[in-house]
Amino acid sequence: MPHAVLFDLDGTLVDRDAAVRALVEDQCKTFARELLHVPATAYVEQFLALDAHGHADKTAVYERLTEIFGLRREMAAVLETDFWANYSAHARLFPDTLPVLHGLHARGFKLGLVTNGGVTAQEPVVARLGLATVVDVILVSEREGVRKPQPEIFARALGALGALPAEAWFVGDHPTVDIEAAAVAGLTAVWRRNSCWPAPTGSYHAIDTLNELLALVDR
């Protein structure tokens, strides 16, 4: 049984795909004049394809969108600014996120959050969704100057919790950046299955919902 459990944020605790879809659908309304000739469905689906579930550079995504749909080049920066200004307002936790985090705390586990991304993008999400009051330590890669899959960011989180890698689990959805990286860092990896990517290599537990995590730690 672990002493500490670390979590990825987007796609693991936060339903990022739903949030981004809603945000981009809103862009079609907000910028209806500029996107008048662009079918809303095509715009949304093309963005999601280019975005690669958050692992693609947003500047590149919007620059490519302007090329595909023949928008004015300056619209790329306008749309990207709108994305970051509104992402936190659209972010939603998976329904079982808070019950599971509270359940783990009740069992005596120390909890941490390790997320790649910018401070101005991730911290408003963490604060608005109440995660800062539930987890014991939060590491955002931009502030740390190191990011997953580098082992150092896992080590820093465990150091802040006073836990050893052998005593800790990491839960994430990306097979390489989260699961394989956590295993390399010496943690037990728990993959929240994501059909968008192939399964990780190596040894790991697999879950479809966070609720299944409680059953794993109770074994």
pLDDT at 1 over 80: no
- Which tens digit of pLDDT belongs to each residue from 87-100? 999 999 999 999 99
Question: Are residues 48 and 103 both part of a single domain?
Answer: no
Question: Which of the four pLDDT bands, split at 50, 70 and 90, describes residue 196?
Answer: confident
pLDDT of 218 reads 87
Question: Are residues 44 and 145 both part of a single domain?
Answer: no
Average pLDDT over residues 139-157: 97
Q: What is the CA radius of gyration of the chain?
A: 18
Full residue range of the structural domain in which residue 199 is found: 4-15+92-217
The last residue of one of the domains, among 64, 90, 116, is: 90
Distance CA 41, CA 24 (A): 10
Question: Are residues 26 and 67 both part of a single domain?
Answer: yes
Q: Count CB atoms within 10 A of the CB of residue 149.
A: 17
CATH number reported for the structural domain that contains residue 170 in this entry:
3.40.50.1000
pLDDT of 54 reads 86
Question: Are residues 211 and 113 both part of a single domain?
Answer: yes
The last residue of one of the domains, among 90, 112, 139, is: 90
- Which tens digit of pLDDT belongs to each residue from 34-67? 999 999 999 999 999 999 888 899 999 999 999 9
Question: Are residues 69 and 104 both part of a single domain?
Answer: no
Q: How many CA atoms within 13 Å lie on the side-chain side of 219?
A: 8
- Which tens digit of pLDDT belongs to each residue from 108-135? 999 999 999 999 999 999 999 999 999 9
Distance CA 83, CA 77 (A): 10
Segment holding 213, helix H or strand E: helix 211-217
pLDDT at 171 over 70: yes
**The total number of structural domains that make up the chain:** 2
pTM of the entire structure? 0.93
pLDDT at 16 over 80: yes
